[in-house]
Amino acid sequence: MSKRKRYKPGDVIPVNGIYRVEHESHRLMHEATLLRENPFPQCRECKNAVRFQLIRTIRGRHILPFRSSAILEEFDQPDPFKMAG
């Protein structure tokens, strides 16, 4: 599994699937179902230090994605037109 591509928060999820979620150091690895064309989420604790690896793809209509109330949270896309201040 170490040869598989690793994704970071903000990368676009390439396919519907079950992904291995590896955190910085505060939590053991776990799995999450993520849906394609959405950004990979951040971790509430380690923020952008979380990484994802595809375990297996999912084909089907009834897919339960991760809940944002869990340890992962939505990735906020930065506004490219907002001036840093």
Residue 79 covered by a domain: no
Q: Give residues with Cβ within 8 angstroms of 12, minimum separation 6.
A: 36, 37, 38, 39, 40
Residue 75 lies in a domain: no
Q: What are residue 3's phi and psi, to 5 degrees?
A: -80, -15
Residue 80 falls within a domain, yes or no?
no
User: Residue 21 falls within a domain, yes or no?
Assistant: yes
| Tokens coding 27 | 């939590």
Q: Is the pTM of this model over 0.75?
A: no
**Number of domains the chain is built from:** 1
The per-residue pLDDT for range 31-85, each reduced to its tens digit, is 999 989 999 999 988 889 999 999 999 887 666 655 544 556 666 766 666 665 5
The answer as to whether 68 is a domain residue is no
Q: What is the domain range of residue 11?
A: 6-59
